[in-house]
Structure 1
Amino acid sequence: MSILTINTGSSSLKACLFMPTGARLNYHYKFTPKNTNESYADAFNGLLDKIKGLNLQAIGHRFVHGGEIHDLSRILDATEIARLKSIAGLAPLHMSNNIFGVEYLSRHFNVPQIACFDTAFHATLPESAWRLPIPNSFKLRRYGFHGINYSYIARELPALIGERAKSNIVVAHLGSGSSLCLMQNLKSIDTSMGFTPAGGIPMATRSGDLDPGVILELAKSHNHEQLTDLIYHQMGLLALSNNESGDMSQLLISKSSHAQFAVDYYCRQVSAAIGAFATKAGGIDALVFTAGIGENAAEVRSKICKPLNFLGFTLDESANQAHATVLNRPLSKPVLIIPADEESVIFRLTAKYNLTPITT
């Protein structure tokens, strides 16, 4: 029997069917984040057309937020689904979509479903990285996200750079949602996102870190629902480009000055965040690009790396333009592209349960 993995992002649905033969069937659907329910229904209908008639052993889901628990994965029974619904507000752009997928597929497949948590990889954050400078009584903290992909990168790094993989590594997960992770000994010791996936570096439609006073000022003219929509759907690259686009691929081919400004601003902020990690760690030994922008936007990688020459990173532009695995010049510290593969991690976490289909 096969295992299906579901990766519901902020702007896309990725599904992967892992066959007993080892073959993988991939399905990818992009959509407008503000129209998720209809878009997801369309996406899942298309997916069902491709996999109907196949016997599934289990379904594994990427869940962006696991809350206070640090388990890598959990079985999605009624209690766990209720718990996840109770914390959905911590990541409204993602969690409602994650839960939608579980409930949708449960109507079509009577098989166990597993939640795999993006926050779990960051359970190793020291208190200096996860604590917020607010009273403890609020019980709020930094969690960090994109952990499933970061765990995949950590697994792949030793084969690419050997023992250096255990030193100070910055991984730049750059996509519609963007974040950075600082690793030591292949474990997370700092990350750019915080309490929610809205923080950190700028993103497609999310601002990243903002002066709290800006939110207080906006709250004077926006109610909670309007403010949530503004924070998750109207900021970031979209706002910086004067509403031209939140899609980096579109901004890179645009001739407008607004688009160029948005690209330059984004790259400057990513470079600055990498530099801050270098200060915290006392230096960086390798840099990894991953996810949609990180893997496919040579111009963005070039703009990010240029200010980092003083840290020992120099790109080979021919390798960069070719999207090669190794991007650095011979005397430079390693700069790599490692394509995201959250699906393989979700598959492993789901398969370990050795589940059998539900019988009634």
Structure 2
Amino acid sequence: MAHALTLNAGSSSLKFGLFDLSAVEPSLIASGKADRIGGAATLTLKNPDGVRLIDAAPIPTDGVVDHQGALATALNALNDHLPQADIVTVGHRIVHGGLHYSGPALIDAKSVEKLAELEPFAPLHQPHNLAAVRAAMQEFPQAAQVGCFDTAFHRDHPFVNDVFALPRAYYDKGVRRYGFHGLSYDYIAGELARTAPQLHAGRVVVAHLGNGASMCGMKAGQSMASSMGFSTLDGLPMGTRCGQIDPGVLLYLMQQEGLSADGISTLLYTQSGLLGLSGLSNDMRTLQSSDSEQAQQAIDYFTFRARRELGGLAAALEGLDGVVFCGGIGENSSLIRDRICAGLGWIGIEIDAAANATNAPVISTETAQVKVMVIPTNEEIVIARACAKLTG
């Protein structure tokens, strides 16, 4: 029996899954997650029914757990619990595919070298993604390696949502709005086509809210506009990333504060966002449980920017038929969903408080013009499907 291993490295987590490829649709055998990487990291492993084989066990370490250490622990756990697994292909979430990848592709060492050139565009993710590829190549030298790119879903943006108002030569060199979280949006588009075809055919804003956060406006399941742009910094504030910022601030930091390019990069990627505003944590769960005024202000800013972005995407779509929340925050935080949707009755959004409190699949009222849904995203099955398709 042939299996696919999927690896999805986020900025503070590593999700992995083992899939059986013997049927047309890959079927999950086991899944897991290394969470809070960089801090008090833990590992969870579950069977397909959600029964935990390993329940948030601390990852042993002599220091801070990084992504490579988390991957090694995950592989050891899979080998202990599923020693019979025959991994013939490994699928990877890779955040940036640049101009060259508009869909999943088989990758090799040469491909990894080219993709490494994009690390400055996504420094929180691309190095971790490629470290997982290199580790998998070493661990499974005979397995086919499949890259699935977060930017691919957005490659057919209209020109006005793809370009910056810079001299055209920069656009031709690749300085453009790429958009990210494409695997998540791909999955949500597929689920809408399967469960809500009328909504799928219309105008939908999908809010992928987690430690990394973005929003995407879709028409008929196709990306029309994204809150993220050239890098994973743009758009919404995130766990440690600033989101939208006036470029003049960056000039000020260089010219008046004396920050170097590396210093600005560290500031914008790792010291800003919810962490920078609250001075407490990048984790929304911690902020929601805090009485700190700064923590509440960070939540206020996050939800305000999301509400503002939602309105802008509705304008780009020339109307709105639905909103879908996904991602760790979007799927689990009724407070954040309520705060984002508050005051949007003018656009047709009305939330059913009881449904929202239980994370119900549909949280809008029956009379609302805009249907609001909560759909748990599943980037892993998107990767597994790509593995099955590309390896036969």
Instruction: Determine the structure 1 residue equivalent to 2:385.
Output: 348
Deviation string 1:138-196 (CA, Å, 9 cap, x unpaired) is 23100000011101000011333332321110000000010000000110000000000
Cα offsets for 1:235-293 (capped at 9, x unmatched): 1111111x111111110111111111110111011001101112222221100000000
- Please state if 1:235 is matched with 2:272: yes
**1:42, CA displacement in angstroms?**
2.4
Query: 1:81 aligned to 112, 117, 123, which one?
Result: 112
2:383 aligned counterpart, secondary structure: helix
- Structure 1 residue ranges without an equivalent (≥5): 356-360
Distance, in Å, in 2 between the alignment partners of 1:20 and 1:119 is: 26
Aligned partners of 2:199 and 2:137: how far apart in 1? 44
After TM superposition, give the deviation of residue 19 of structure 1 in Å: 2.5
Determine whether 1:106 maps to 2:133: no
Q: CA deviation at 1:327?
A: 0.4
Match of 1:3 in 2: 4
Contact 1:14-1:26 within 8 A present in 2 as well:
yes
Q: Displacement of 1:20 after TM fit?
A: 4.5
TM-score where L is the length of structure 1: 0.95
Amino acid at match of 1:30: D
Counterpart of 1:17 in structure 2: which amino acid?
L
Matched, 1:150 2:185: yes
Equivalences for residues 137-286 of structure 1 within 5 A: 137-138=169-170, 139=173, 140-220=175-255, 221-241=258-278, 243-286=279-322
Q: Which residue of 1 aligns with 2:50?
A: none
Query: Given residue 19 of structure 1, which amino acid in structure 2 is its aligned partner?
Result: D
SS at match of 1:240: helix
Partner SS state of residue 238, structure 2: coil
Q: Structure 1's 137 and 14: CA in aligned 2 closer, same or farther, altered over 3 A?
A: same
* Structure 2 unaligned spans of 5+: 42-63
Work out the CA distance in 2 between the residues paired with 1:75 and 1:38: 29
Q: Which amino acid aligns with 2:75?
A: L
| Paired amino acid for 2:7 | I
- Corresponding residue SS for 2:139: coil
CA–CA distance in structure 2, aligned partners of residues 302 and 23 of structure 1: 33
CA distance in 2, matches of 1:133, 1:290: 31
Give the match for residue 58 of structure 2.
Answer: none
1:116 pairs with 2:148:
yes
Q: Give the TM-score of the pair, scaled to structure 2.
A: 0.87
Q: In 2, distance between residues paired with 1:283 and 1:217?
A: 38
The amino acid of 2:314's aligned partner reads A
* 1:198–1:232 CA contact under 8 A, matched in 2: yes
> In the alignment, is the contact (CA less than 8 A) between 1:205 and 1:235 conserved in 2?
yes
Aligned to 1:131: 163
Tell me whether 273-282 or 283-292 shows the greater mean CA deviation.
273-282
The answer (yes or no) to whether the contact 2:13–2:35 under 8 Å persists in 1 is yes
Structure 1 residue 51, shift from structure 2 partner: 2.5
Q: Is the 8 A contact 1:33 1:93 kept in 2?
A: no
- 2:374 equivalent among 337, 340, 358: 337
Q: Counterpart of 1:100 in structure 2: which amino acid?
A: A
**Contact persistence 1:169–1:286 (CA under 8 A):** yes
Please list the CA deviations of residues 296-320 of structure 1 after superposition, one character each: whole Å capped at 9, or x if unmatched.
0100000000121111111111110
State the secondary structure of the residue aligned to 2:196.
helix
2:225, 2:316 within 8 Å by CA — same for their partners in 1?
no
Question: CA 1:3 to 1:105, structure 2 compared with 1: closer, same or farther past 3 Å?
Answer: same
User: What is the identity, as a one-letter code, of the residue corresponding to 1:101?
Assistant: A
Distance 1:125 1:318 in 2: 37
* Alignment of structure 1 residues 270-349 onto 2, 5 Å: 270-332=306-368, 333-349=370-386
Any conservation in 1 of the 2:178–2:229 contact (CA below 8 Å)?
yes
User: Identity percentage over the alignment?
Assistant: 37
Q: Which amino acid aligns with 1:329?
A: T
Alpha-carbon distance in 1 for matches of 2:102, 2:317 = 27
Q: Is the 8 A contact 1:31 1:39 kept in 2?
A: no
Structure 2 residue matching 1:278: 3-state secondary structure: helix
Change (3 A) 1:278 1:41: closer
Is the partner of 1:107 in helix, strand or coil?
A: helix
| Deviation digits for residues 38-79 of structure 1 (CA, Å, limit 9, x no counterpart) | 422321222121233321010000000000123311212122
Q: Is the 8 A contact 2:102 2:153 kept in 1?
A: no
Q: Deviations over 1:191-215 (max 9, x none)?
A: 0000001101111111111000101
Which protein has greater RCO, CA pairs closer than 8 Å, 6+ apart? 1
Cα RMSD after superposing both structures:
1.7
- 1:12 is aligned to 13
How far does residue 33 in structure 1 lie from its aligned partner after superposition?
Answer: 5.0
- 1:358 corresponds to: none
| CA distance in structure 2 between the partners assigned to 1:86 and 1:94 by the alignment | 13
Structure 2 SS opposite 1:132: coil
Letter in 2 for 1:85: A
Separation in 2, partners of 1:20, 1:118: 23
Query: Aligned partner of 1:237: which letter?
Result: L
